[in-house]
């Protein structure tokens, strides 16, 4: 653990408003490393599953529906559209760089990507299938049977293999080489003076206390509405739903700010439509500071430098269903 990391960890324990970066000799944000693909066949299988709407009851919703890799790994909606157009209860977080998260979902109820991947498939509000049905569908498709066998070395597809392949694919969805990372790596011309001023303000005003590390967030749970309460109609309780502790009420995983220019709208309720709004609310509610319009704009300029190279995705061709594949039921009463 670097000196900066230790200081940051200590700072987070003390509270998110501490100004840590100024005390650290290194930058509090580290560059995203390119993905190292160790199991390409598993990743390729995971990609197919990620794009396959047959994992949903309707045959129309895939992982990519709410975590669209054409749109920053998100759906750019306040709340996602689930089975039969049900309104999601929380904003879909980006899948990009999600392997760097301390845990998955806003409340961290899944410990890793593999555990996460099983959730939406069986959530009646989301893909509305069951693990049993999803496996029955996949096992009925010769192309998948063969591919799972190649990857996992045995007959018969299991949900653990499905979520393992999905996680393996998602681990490749990192976004290196943002202009900010180029700057971190020593290219001092990669940022404009104004963007750099925004970064300094981001550090000096305390944003960086929670938004730090490789993912510029994603590594702690913090209370939404620290200095002043956050007003929302959204019913999410945050971390308290996992720990059962009242002290964790409205504690949410700090979202990554990587690619934040692509992942609008913001916050767990998606109520901040723009970065300007998000920075303003964060300043007032988390830091007790009202940024001037120019300060706000500087921080926004910095945030826009966090857009990295988006994953290069060859759109998959999915193996076709067979006559005995359970058919989608989008309109079943």
Residues recognised as catalytic: 126
Exactly one of 4, 29, 32, 52 binds a second copy (CB under 8 A); that residue is 52
Stated as kind and residue range, the H or E segment containing 222 is strand 221-223
Contacts of 201 (CB under 8 A, 6+ apart): 291, 295, 298, 299, 302
Query: Three-state SS for 293?
Result: helix
**Ramachandran sector of residue 250 (left: φ over 0; alpha: ψ -120 to 50; beta: rest):** left
The radius of gyration computed from the CA coordinates of the chain, to the nearest angstrom, equals 21
Near a second copy by CB under 8 A: residue from 19, 30, 41, 53 = 53
CA angle 99, 102, 103 (to 5 degrees): 80
Q: Return the DSSP state at 255.
A: P
Shortest reach from residue 310's CB to a second copy, in Å: 5
70 interacts with a second copy by CB under 8 A: yes
Nearer to a second copy, 77 or 102 (CB): 77
CB 29 within 8 A of CB 214: yes
Choices 4-12, 110-118, 222-230, 319-327; region in contact with a second copy by CB under 8 A: 319-327
Of 4 and 79, nearer to a second copy (C-beta) is 79
The verdict on whether residue 207 carries a ligand-binding annotation is: yes
Could you give the 3-state DSSP secondary structure of residue 272? strand
Structure tokens at 231: 């007003």
Letters for 74-103 (x = contact with a second copy by CB under 8 A, - = none) are -xxx-x-x--xx-x----------------
Residue 313 in contact with a second copy, rule: CB under 8 A = yes
Give residue for tokens 């845990």. 103
Q: Which of 262, 272, 282, 301 binds a second copy (CB under 8 A)?
A: 262
109 φ/ψ angles, rounded to the nearest 5 degrees: -75, -15
Q: Is 63 annotated as a binding residue?
A: yes
Mark the binding-site residues for heme c, compressed into ranges.
63, 66-67, 83, 207, 210-211, 282
Binding residues vs a second copy (CB under 8 A):
51-54, 58-60, 65, 68-72, 75-77, 79, 81, 84-85, 87, 261-262, 264-265, 273-276, 310, 312-318, 320-321, 323, 327-328, 330-331
């Amino acid at each position: 653990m670097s000196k900066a990391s230790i200081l940051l960890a200590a700072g987070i324990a003390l509270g998110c408003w501490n100004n840590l970066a100024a005390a650290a000799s290194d930058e509090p944000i580290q560059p995203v490393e390119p993905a190292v693909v160790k199991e390409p066949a598993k990743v390729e299988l995971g990609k197919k599953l990620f794009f396959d709407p047959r994992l949903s009851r309707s045959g129309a919703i895939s992982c990519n529906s709410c975590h669209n890799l054409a749109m920053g790994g998100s759906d750019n909606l306040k709340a996602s559209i689930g089975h039969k157009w049900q309104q999601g209860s929380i904003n879909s977080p980006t899948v990009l760089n999600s392997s760097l998260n301390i845990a998955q979902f806003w409340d961290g109820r899944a410990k890793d990507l593999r555990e996460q991947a099983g959730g939406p498939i069986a959530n009646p509000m989301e893909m509305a299938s069951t693990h049993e049905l999803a496996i029955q569908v996949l096992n009925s498709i010769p192309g998948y049977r063969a591919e799972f066998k190649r990857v996992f070395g045995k007959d018969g597809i299991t949900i653990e293999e499905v979520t393992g392949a999905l996680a393996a694919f998602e681990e490749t969805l990192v976004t290196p080489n943002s202009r900010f990372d180029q700057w971190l790596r020593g290219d001092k011309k990669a940022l404009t003076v104004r963007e750099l001023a925004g970064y300094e303000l981001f550090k000096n005003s305390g944003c960086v206390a929670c938004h730090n590390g490789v993912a510029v967030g994603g590594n702690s749970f913090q209370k939404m509405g620290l200095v002043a309460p956050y007003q929302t109609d959204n019913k999410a309780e945050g971390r308290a739903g996992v720990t059962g502790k009242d002290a964790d009420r409205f504690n949410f995983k700090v979202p990554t700010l990587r690619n934040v220019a692509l992942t609008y709208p913001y916050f767990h309720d998606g109520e901040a439509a723009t970065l300007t709004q998000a920075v303003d609310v964060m300043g007032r509610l988390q830091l007790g500071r009202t940024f001037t319009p120019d300060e706000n704009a500087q921080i926004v300029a910095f945030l826009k430098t966090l857009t990295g190279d988006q994953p290069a995705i060859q759109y998959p061709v999915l193996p076709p269903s067979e006559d005995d594949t359970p058919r989608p039921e989008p309109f079943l009463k």
